[in-house]
Amino acid sequence: MGKILSIIFLSMIVIFCFQNCNGIVKLQPLEAAKISTGQPVATGSPDPESDDEDDPTSRVLPAVQMKALSVANLELPAELATAQLQKAPEGVALQNGRLIWWPRSAQAGTHSIELKVAEKIWTLSLLVEPLEGQDQMAGPPKGFSDEDVGYIFIHGKSEMDLCNGGLARAYWAGGDAIIAPIAALRTVTCYDGRNDVATEAAKITQQILAAPCGKLNRCIIVTHSMGGLMIEHILTHTRAAAASDPPEYRKHYDSNVAYSKVKDRIAFVISLASAAGGSKVADMVENPTTYSLDQSSMGAISRIFGARSGSTNNLVPKFAVNVAAPMTANPGVPIYLVAGYSRQLLDIGGLVGGPSDWLGITDPDKRVFNADVSYGYLDYMTGFSSRSDGVVSFRSSCGIASDRMDDGPGWDKELSLQFNYCYSATKKPNHFVWFAINLNHSLIQINTSKCTNSDNPCQIYRPDPVRKTMVRDTALDQKSSVEIIRQHLRKL
């Protein structure tokens, strides 16, 4: 059905342009193009007082064909230097003789833009093709100039308020500056990571709305861990509360107007190790009596993950994907996911003295969670049903539409089955896996030197629509996730 609709859509474009267009300008993502003057077209009645019969009151410019989420960056003819917009879809702007538009996925179709100079109307047709699923698998739009957009970073769970003493910037350990080199267009947000997202979302919302978003007036959101749940909470609560909503959760929609403004500012989201699907670790902290673990084990889990709080409550999978960020709700902007994993799992039998002595191990296998045995131990004790980065499993970091903690191929199954699951399992609306990288939960958001470790170099797997699984991209070997993001987004 999708292919049939695409053929019909493209046929309409061809017919439309044979009748109305002076050629077609085909745009690649973020490509700048110059529009020629176009041909005069007599529309309506000519001006009876005009002495020039060849000077009609309207001109049609060459049509522009582009994909949704690409940017129309069009240099207009000199005659239009003083033009004013008479008719245009939402988001179109004129800037210094250029027409700028960044259409959303929902704006696919044929759009007519009218520009007025003196008494003449100039018409430009923008033919926005819908995005196919495989278009999204290639990752977000790329090729930005650094000054085009702003970048907003949202950190994850913490055991303190990271708005104090520059702690939020330290959280990213320079990874934010790699992705967004212009400090004036880089906003590192902060909140109290002990609280629930509904309480802290208002603070994040105000920081996003105040952030500079570059020449295109759009910002790219980069999140880590619970930051993914935070932004999805905002984006899935842009409507007013309905009578069908549970009374105790209607308050989550109280800021829907401000949340809608946030969505309008966002181009897309890059979510590193997203905890928007929650984590089984949080359920263990919140509901310890349901697990067969001794007190010392539960204490170790709490030390690594954090004590019971509003944030751990939100990160319980059933609450995360049904209340905090409902998995059936469309966030309205694309969310590109970067998942962490470990190439090998911890052999608990190899720990001297057993679990009670795990902190004494100083030289674990280098392939086990980047030689961080604490994450290996947490992963082992949690018993995720899919591969994890030590805190969140593929069920969450790959955007799977499931609240079942046992969803997945199994904790100890081979990587090929784990990647099949990440690729094939049903995703939440507008969620797309970009790549998976063998980095643990605390390394995936920084420019870590671990990626060049000879014992465990970073290996990247990306979606392959032909094989219908994740396949290794050797061209990205030994690069950190933030280096890959920077390389993809920058204008070459």
Q: Compute CA distances 203 → 159, 192, 259, 448, whole Å.
A: 17, 10, 11, 29
Say if 308 falls within a structural domain. yes
* Contact between 432 and 135 (Cβ < 8 Å): no
Is the domain of 249 the same as that of 358?
yes
258: burial class by Cβ within 10 Å (0-12, 13-18, 19+)? middle
Q: Identify any residues that bridge with 223 across adjacent strands, giving them in sequence order.
A: 154, 271
pLDDT tens track for 21-58: 334 454 444 444 444 443 333 333 333 444 444 556 77
* Contact between 196 and 308 (Cβ < 8 Å): no
Say if 373 falls within a structural domain. yes
Q: Stretch 279-304: mean pLDDT, rounded?
A: 82
d(CA 288, CA 296): 12
Is the domain of 177 the same as that of 145?
yes
d(CA 234, CA 256): 8
Looking at the 3D structure of the chain, how many domains does it have?
Answer: 2
Lowest mean pLDDT among 63-72, 209-218, 454-463: 63-72
Crossing angle of helices 373-382 and 295-305, in 10° steps, is: 120
Is the domain of 125 the same as that of 208?
no
Is the domain of 173 the same as that of 114?
no
Is the domain of 120 the same as that of 208?
no
**What percent of the chain shows pLDDT beyond 90?**
58
Is the domain of 102 the same as that of 231?
no
Is the domain of 90 the same as that of 138?
no
Is the domain of 154 the same as that of 81?
no
Q: Stretch 138-157: mean pLDDT, rounded?
A: 89
Say if 221 falls within a structural domain. yes
Say if 48 falls within a structural domain. no
Is the domain of 325 the same as that of 445?
yes
Q: Stretch 147-173: mean pLDDT, rounded?
A: 94
53: burial class by Cβ within 10 Å (0-12, 13-18, 19+)? exposed
Say if 15 falls within a structural domain. yes
Instruction: Quickly state the pLDDT bin for 14 (edges 50, 70, 90).
Output: very low
pLDDT tens track for 322-357: 999 999 999 999 999 999 999 999 876 555 444 444
Is the domain of 442 the same as that of 313?
yes
Where in the sequence is the domain holding 168, given as residue range(s)? Answer: 134-489
Is the domain of 119 the same as that of 248?
no
Instruction: Quickly state the pLDDT bin for 126 (edges 50, 70, 90).
Output: confident
Is the domain of 149 the same as that of 117?
no
| 104, 131, 158 - which closes a domain | 131
pLDDT tens track for 162-186: 999 889 999 999 999 999 999 999 9
CB atoms within 10 A of CB 28: 11
* Whole-structure pTM value: 0.83
What pLDDT sits at residue 81?
87
Could you tell me the CATH number of the domain that includes residue 23?
A: 2.60.40.10
